[in-house]
Structure 1
Amino acid sequence: MEELKQLQVELQHKKDHAVRQAEEMRQINGNTVFGGAFALTEFRYEEIKQATDDFDDSKKIGQGGCGSVYKGFLRHTTVAIKKFNSEGTTGEKEYNDEVETLRRMRHPNLVTLIGVCREAKVLVFEFMPNGSLEDCLQCKHQTKPLSWQMRIRISADICTGLIFLHSNKPKGIAHGDLKPDNVLLDTSFVCKLADFGISRFLNLTNTTVTPYHLTNQIKGTMGYMDPGYTTSGELTAQSDVYSFGVVLMRLLTGRNPLGLPIEVEAALRNDTLQEIIDTSAGYWPPQYTKELARLALRCCRYDRKERPDLAKEVWGVLEAMMNCPGDKCQPPMLFICPMSQEIMRDPHIAADGFTYEGDTIKDWLQSGHTMSPMTYLTFTHHELIPNNALRFAIQEWQMQSFCPIADF
């Protein structure tokens, strides 16, 4: 105990010294956080070119209206590098707008902006191994279809991210282009909203009740755009709610977004909803499909005042679906390894505080990875601690449910 106390004192001294050094470096480099904005790493253009093999097409993982996204290896870390189109003032404005939006926010359901290269109009993001929600819905790269349980969880993640954006202070933010292409999935299929190039801060005037952004340059994606926004030019939080409703329908049916609200409404009215449900997600509980369809249609009502509040109404419905007990053989998420997505046999706690299957995290470390697959921060050490309490809980659950591990 005396040795541990002495070690604790020494570590506290080292921590205090490191904090002082960090503060001094921030003052010297001008990287202090001002006005709630997070400091960003400034990368040199040569670093970016080297990380992407000079923007080689083989490194390209995405293409959008304002630029391309490349997978790169930068400073010993796998990242996503978004390069904006070099020509025109529109690209310049969207680049600056996305930087200003993301450098002020951090949230588990928003993609993390790591740094920038202003010389080349480049943004560096955390890399999302499972690609976009659109990729998963189309089963690109021969991936397995998303289960209906996972689709509900993804819906809840999107809802949470939008609530955070809309409740931003002092001004709420409208994403403006919510669609499956702009929803990215990490190793554990936790979704993060991305592509904030046309996002806007919402203003409230003396003559309005709803904060909005007025523009005569309508931007977005057909099928997901709020009809009220396209006719009036007023972008509001409710515009995102409309897009969210269409995304819900995509998750439910897997069908093309154009005309989808009309198709779903007709199916509900004619009691033929089960005929258009995406069966690749497994057997949807009928009560869930109808509830999700009705919720999605409410989000897509033409009058924005009739659309539900995400925080007060929508989130509660999705949370209830996630927490509702299903098949007795459905394992709690706590028992699932965040990397392998399988029930853990030998859970171990890593330095990042997360619990992984022992062999999986050992292979990760032995292959040369120095960063956490969950937090993308460097491990402080590579020691693993057996999580015996969780292992016993998993074994007890398996005995009670009579479901062997091989069944999953």
Structure 2
Amino acid sequence: MAMDEIIPPPEVDLPRETEDSERIIPSPDVEYLPRQTEDTERKLPSPEVDYLSRQNEDILEQKEEHGKTTELERKEKQLKEERHGEEHERPHEELGQGTKLETQCEEHKRLERQCEELERQRRKLERQGEELKRMKTITIVYEQFRQWIEDKASNSSSGVSFIEFNPSEVDDSVPKDQNHCLGRGGYGIVYKAKLRNETVAMKILNESSRQGEREFKQEIAILKRIRHQNLITLRGACSEKFALMYELLPNGTLEDRLINEKQRESFSWEERVRVATSICTALVFLHNAKPNPIAHGDLKPGNILFDDENICKLSDFGISRLLQQTNDTGTPNHITEVPKGSGPYMDPEFKNTGKLTPQSDVFALGIILLQLVTGQSATGLRKHIVDKLEGKKLEKMDTRKQKMILEKLQILDAQLKLDDTSIQDAVKMVSLGLRCSNSERKRRPSLEIEVWPEIESMNKSECLYGSDEVD
């Protein structure tokens, strides 16, 4: 029954007060209340019950939240412990990795030190190999020189000594016939003359010459103390007349054979190779002279003469110099404020710095090698060949292609008729000539280590190089 349907109890007549009024009479309400309570408990919610219920629900929620919080705290604690464990283990792992990296670095450094040591040993062996090649070349050159000296000594008539001529002898020997004039140079006129029953080439200083006493004394100082089969022999001199007397070399100059069409036609490849070998041999001898190396300083075809056996000899040592060893570069040199030389044969570095070295002669040799192959003038020759080749590596081509390119580009002298072997040698000589005539001194090859052995290997004539006589 609903609350609003409750009917109030009927009015009841109460008895009058009597003696028994004190006797408790149950109120009708009492009888009613139990019925009402039963239904009320079952049917009607009480505010207190709602309050307790809600309170209970709050408690349950709090317990649930507390449980969740506890679970979160537990997980957080577990996570912290795991992190702490990782952090505790990480230094050990990092320490292990660090130790491994240090070991690898040490191993890398050790290998680098080994590589540096191997490279140092390689360079040392390379230098020793080059020094052995250099000494082998010098040994061969001096062995050839020794044999020449012995041959001279065995022939008493060829033994010569330096003679001091007097002025009257010079005056009497000067020919009046200009046909006896062998040539003219920067120093003076060269005559064919006869002195003390010997025919000589006599060079007398020209009064208008820029050369003079210094060049006169220099040539005597060098040629008086050295002899070599590829150097002109100085027979004597006259100090009062500044006259120099040489052995007579009747077969002209290398310049004649390169310029004169008829002479060039008969100038075979074998002869050209022998000329290159002879020039190179003479330079090796000069550059290794003791106590002072000698730089020719004016190497050119006009100063290379031929004797009656067509052996070529270097002449004109007027501007040659005795070189001094220096501590800064280790290269012997002579420094002058006024560099002298001959046009296209003059070392560009000597011209710019005034420092004359053996490499200055190597430059001039390079130009001459190019001329021996081409038969052309020295002026602009190197640039001409470089421009025509346009970077072509002739030495890496086969012989047929080498010959085709040399002829097509007109690098090879048209007067030369070469077989396959000679074509290969001509290519080698061009390559050597270009390297020797490099404008940078440090990029030129060593005369003893590279140039002389390469040229000597081309030589078809009998020689000591590689023979059993010299190891």
- Per the TM superposition, whether the score is higher than 0.5 is yes
- The correspondence for 2:350, drawn from 226, 229, 242, is 229
- Contact 1:167–1:173 (CA under 8 A) maintained in structure 2: yes
Partner residue, 2:162:
40
- Say which structure is richer in helix: 2
1:70-149 pair list within 5 angstroms? 70-86=191-207, 90-139=211-260, 145-149=266-270
Residue of structure 2 aligned with 1:299, choices 433, 436, 441: 436
Aligned to 1:123, what secondary structure does the other structure show? strand
* Aligned counterpart, 2:282: 161
Shift of 1:44: 2.4
Q: Letter of the 2:239 partner, please give it.
A: R
Which residue is 2:413 aligned to?
278
Aligned partners of 1:86 and 1:121 also within 8 Å: no
Aligned-residue RMSD, C-alpha: 2.2
Larger-gyration structure (1/2): 2
TM-score scaled by structure 1?
A: 0.66
| Distance in 2 between residues matched to 1:181 and 1:163, nearest whole Å | 20
The percent of aligned pairs where both chains have the same amino acid is 43
Q: Is the 1:52–1:59 contact (alpha carbons within 8 Å) kept by the matching residues of 2?
A: no
Which residue does the alignment assign to 2:424? 287
Select the structure with the greater relative contact order (CA < 8 A; seq sep ≥ 6). 2
Change in CA separation of 1:127 and 1:88 when aligned onto 2, cut-off 3 Å: closer
Query: SS of 1:152's equivalent?
Result: helix
* Partner Cα distance (1:152, 1:101) in 2: 27
Question: By how many angstroms is 1:78 displaced?
Answer: 1.8
- Is there any run of 5+ residues in structure 1 with no aligned partner, and where? 1-37, 324-331, 335-408
3-state SS of paired residue (2:221): helix
**Mean CA deviation greater in 72-81 or 223-232:** 72-81
**2:322 equivalent to 1:201:** yes
Identify if the C-alpha distance between structure 1 residues 69 and 282 changes in structure 2 by more than 3 Å, giving closer, same or farther: farther
The aligned residue for residue 186 of structure 1 is 307
Q: Which amino acid aligns with 1:109?
A: N
Residues 101 and 196, structure 1, Cα contact 8 Å, conserved in 2: yes
Shift in CA distance, 231/107, structure 1 to aligned 2, threshold 3 Å: same
* Preserved contact between residue 264 and residue 273 of structure 1 (Cα < 8 Å): no
Provide the C-alpha distance between the structure 1 equivalents of 2:433 and 2:209, rounded to a whole number of angstroms.
38
Q: What is the correspondence of 1:350-369 to structure 2 with a 5 Å cutoff? A: none
Residues 278 and 142 of structure 1: CA distance in aligned 2, closer, same or farther (over 3 Å): closer
Per-residue CA deviations over 1:345-387 (Å, capped at 9, x if unaligned) read: xxxxxxxxxxxxxxxxxxxxxxxxxxxxxxxxxxxxxxxxxxx
Q: Is the Cα–Cα contact under 8 Å of residues 177 and 225 in structure 1 kept in the other structure?
A: yes
1:49 correspondence with 2:157: no
Name the residue aligned to 1:259: 380
Superposed displacement of residue 242, structure 1: 0.3
SS at match of 1:308: coil
Unaligned runs of 5+ in 2: 1-159, 395-404, 464-471
- Give structure 1 regions of 4+ aligned residues with deviation exceeding 4 angstroms: 140-144
**Residue of structure 2 in register with 1:318 after alignment:** 455
- TM-score by length of structure 2 reads 0.58
Cα distance in 2 for residues equivalent to 1:249 and 1:41: 39
Cα distance, 1:141–1:279 mapped onto 2, change above 3 Å: closer
Conservation of the 8 A alpha-carbon contact between 2:186 and 2:209? no
Instruction: Pick closer, same or farther for the CA change 1:142–1:169 going to 2, 3 Å.
Output: closer
In the alignment, residue 360 of structure 2 is paired with which amino acid?
Answer: S
Written as runs of structure 1 = structure 2, the 5 A alignment for 1:383-398 is none
Instruction: Give the Cα separation in 2 of the matches to 1:130 and 1:87.
Output: 28
Aligned equivalent of 1:406 = none
Q: Deviations over 1:263-321 (max 9, x none)?
A: 12233335643322112233263211211100111101122122111122111111111
- Give the aligned length: 288
2:205 counterpart letter in structure 1? F
Q: Do the aligned residues in 1 keep the contact of 2:164 with 2:237 (CA within 8 Å)?
A: yes
- 1:317-361: CA deviations, max 9, x gaps? 1111114xxxxxxxx779xxxxxxxxxxxxxxxxxxxxxxxxxxx
